[in-house]
Amino acid sequence: MSSALELILAGVVAQIATVPGVTSAKAVPASQLFDKPAKEGMDVRVATLPPSYPGAVVSVNEDEIHVEDVRQSGSTSVVLYRVAVYAAIYATSDGTVEAAAQKLVWQIGQAVDLAMMIFVPYVPNVATRQLEPAGFEPIVVDPTMYGLLMKWWARYQLVSSIS
């Protein structure tokens, strides 16, 4: 993973960790984000779970890097990239009803989404922009745990000299 992507990922993890109600947030490689079956016999995969709940697992998917724009002026070129950033947020209930976990995940998901609206990842010597929301979907793990998969697009540009 490039240093720019590592810094974007670290920034997103740190930002999510500051959201009230989130007790843990960690980064995982994209290959581990969906690495184990939710239920035996089902084709649904869930993210690696956070160390504590409510918590988040965050990943940058290098397979979803897109070149959005390339510009050249004289001996300088600028390439604008877009990469997918995922956060899986999980909460548990008191063991009696899924609805409690579902409600908590949606509340924390809204708070995370608000925090991400104003967040701009810091990468030295690289121009970055605010994350743009791309969608979310629920993740049902078991009757006492519920999750929400959130996706944003991070944009960054690299400037290089052409000799």
Question: What value does the mean pLDDT take over residues 51-72?
Answer: 90
According to the model, what pLDDT value does residue 42 have?
A: 47
Q: Which residues pair with 25 in a beta bridge?
A: 56
Nearest to 83 by CA among 26, 36, 126: 126
Verdict on whether the full-model pTM lies above 0.85:
no
Question: What value does the mean pLDDT take over residues 50-56?
Answer: 90
Give residue 17's pLDDT band: very low, low, confident or very high (50, 70, 90).
Answer: very high
Among 41-45, 89-93, 159-163, top mean pLDDT goes to 89-93
Secondary structure, 3-state, the chain: CCHHHHHHHHHHHHHHHCCCCCCEEEECCHHHHCCEECCCCCCCEECCCCCCCCEEEEEEEEEEEEEEEEEEECCEEEEEEEEEEEEEEEEECCCCCHHHHHHHHHHHHHHHHHHHHCCCCCCCCCEECCCEEEEEEEEEEECCEEEEEEEEEEEEEEEEECC
pLDDT in tens, 103-158: 889 999 999 999 988 888 888 878 888 888 888 888 877 777 788 889 999 989 88
